[in-house]
Amino acid sequence: MDILCLNGPNLNRLGKREPDIYGTKTLDDVEARLGEKAGELGARISFFQSNHEGCLIDRIHEAADEGMEGIIFNPGAFTHTSVALRDAVASVGIPTVEVHISNIHTREEFRHHSFIAPVCIGQIAGLGTHGYELALLALHRYGKGE
């Protein structure tokens, strides 16, 4: 099973600031752990982070062309603003799990709404960077029809 882990704006700064909200692990740490977990599950995982909406959209389209079977997606602040990213996820039809490190539902009201969640199979929020591993597990099971 081929899975793409996609991270949006500012997530390249993970572990470098605001540890009270986002924890102390860097994006490299998170990706290394996910790579190990994917290996244990017999899945392949690719990683991409961008601060640019269009680059994220292009990567989603490429994922479809590559035959990817799942996307773990933390769209960052684009979660709350981007119809274009929502359309990209909807257009490829790849099962996608939206992940947020923080609990967006207990934070400022503008973070409560996600444009992306309605086109995902599920959303994980507030469980820290562990949420990425839970999303991987969920996609793996979903792919097996469980």
Distance, CA of 118 to CA of 26 (rounded, Å): 28
Site string for ligand CA2, 82-111 (x = CB under 6 A): ------------------xxx-x------x
H helix count then E strand count, the chain:
5, 5
Q: CA nearest 24: which of 129, 103, 108?
A: 129
Q: Which stretch binds ligand CA2 (CB under 6 A): 12-20, 39-47, 50-58, 114-122?
A: 12-20
40 vs 49: CA distance, rounded Å: 23
Query: According to the binding rule CB under 6 A, does residue 14 interact with ligand CA2?
Result: yes
Q: Which of 145, 91, 116, 141 is nearest to 6 (CA)?
A: 116
Query: Is residue 57 within the footprint of ligand CA2 (CB under 6 A)?
Result: no
112 forms part of the interface with ligand CA2 (CB under 6 A): no
Q: Does 30 bind ligand CA2 (CB under 6 A)?
A: no
Rule CB under 6 A: is residue 56 a binding residue for ligand CA2?
Answer: no
Does residue 36 belong to the site contacting ligand CA2 (CB under 6 A)? Answer: no
- Rule CB under 6 A: say whether 6 interacts with ligand CA2: no
74 forms part of the interface with ligand CA2 (CB under 6 A): yes
Q: Smallest distance, Å, CB 145 to ligand CA2?
A: 29
Which residues sit at the interface with ligand CA2, rule CB under 6 A?
Answer: 10-11, 13-14, 16-18, 22, 74, 76-77, 79, 100-102, 104, 111
